[in-house]
């Protein structure tokens, strides 16, 4: 089997550290998680390229830098409970699981949810729970969360996700009315009714489909 450890280290140094990500917890997680394990066989050779890659069902695994940037934006210290919306391949969930105590992740495409669960189990990530369902509604059973990260772009921040944040918790989500461009936004819960919003960087994600995202008709566009 090919040893990708050198490529993984080069990815961290050239794609992530060089672009300003400083969190040691995030950098260590990116050094440890084998991205190649979360890809279809035909994409494994490109595992450490500086780009997103297709994972089937019209979805992608995010560019490594974006995974690291979003994880850092949550400002995790290591004792948190995190919710991820859009499990996809399971790669970002594994990165979060290296930092947080508990990770809950929701995927609307059953085939992807099952595949991610299998890989995460194989790699020994027993602090990740996956559910197949509408991620825009969150996962109320385990709320509130210290951090929520959304890996698809929505037209606005879902109110349900905001309500599932703990006081002082942070929600990182791509927001935009244009399906080809969104602004990555960080929402911090300041009180029961007040939320502070920061614009971070421009991004391009697949659409957030669901009851509080884009309707399913956007999938065919």
What would the mean pLDDT of 19-37 be, rounded to a whole number? Answer: 98
Domain harbouring 203, CATH code: 3.40.50.150
What rounded mean pLDDT belongs to the chain?
Answer: 95
pLDDT one-digit tens code per residue, 168-216: 999 999 999 877 899 999 999 999 999 999 999 999 999 999 999 987 5
- Domain count along the chain: 1
pLDDT of 35 reads 98
What would the mean pLDDT of 39-62 be, rounded to a whole number? Answer: 96
Q: Is the pLDDT of residue 72 over 80?
A: yes
d(CA 11, CA 49): 8
Burial class (CB in 10 A: 0-12, 13-18, 19+), 126: exposed
pLDDT of 180 reads 80
pLDDT of 216 reads 57
pLDDT of 214 reads 87
Active site residue 220: no
Q: Which residues pair with 59 in a beta bridge?
A: 56
d(CA 112, CA 54): 12
Q: Is the pLDDT of residue 2 over 90?
A: no
Share of the chain above pLDDT 90, in %: 91
pTM for the whole structure: 0.94
pLDDT of 220 reads 40
CB 107 within 8 A of CB 135: yes
Q: Is the pLDDT of residue 109 over 60?
A: yes
Q: Domain containing 42: what range?
A: 5-220
Question: Which residue in the list 62, 79, 191, 215 is annotated as catalytic?
Answer: 62
């Amino acid at each position: 089997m090919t040893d990708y450890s050198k490529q993984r280290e080069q990815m961290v140094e050239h794609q992530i550290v060089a672009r300003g990500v400083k969190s040691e917890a995030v950098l260590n997680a990116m050094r440890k998680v084998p991205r190649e394990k979360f890809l279809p066989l035909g994409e494994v050779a490109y595992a450490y390229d500086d780009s997103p890659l297709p994972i089937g069902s019209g979805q992608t695994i995010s560019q490594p830098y974006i995974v690291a940037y979003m994880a850092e934006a949550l400002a995790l210290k290591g004792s948190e409970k995190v919710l991820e919306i859009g499990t996809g391949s399971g790669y970002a969930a594994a990165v979060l699981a290296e930092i947080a105590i508990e990770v809950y992740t929701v995927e609307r495409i059953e085939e992807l949810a099952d595949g991610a669960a299998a890989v995460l189990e194989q790699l020994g990530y027993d602090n990740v729970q996956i559910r197949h369902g509408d991620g825009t509604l969150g996962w109320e059973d385990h709320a509130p969360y210290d951090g929520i990260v959304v890996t698809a772009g929505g037209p606005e921040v879902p109110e349900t996700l905001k309500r599932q944040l703990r006081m002082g918790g942070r929600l990182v989500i791509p927001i935009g009315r244009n399906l080809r461009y969104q602004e990555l936004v960080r929402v911090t819960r300041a009180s029961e009714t007040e939320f502070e919003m920061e614009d971070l960087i421009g991004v391009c994600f697949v659409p957030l489909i669901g009851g509080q995202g884009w309707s399913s008709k956007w999938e065919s566009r």
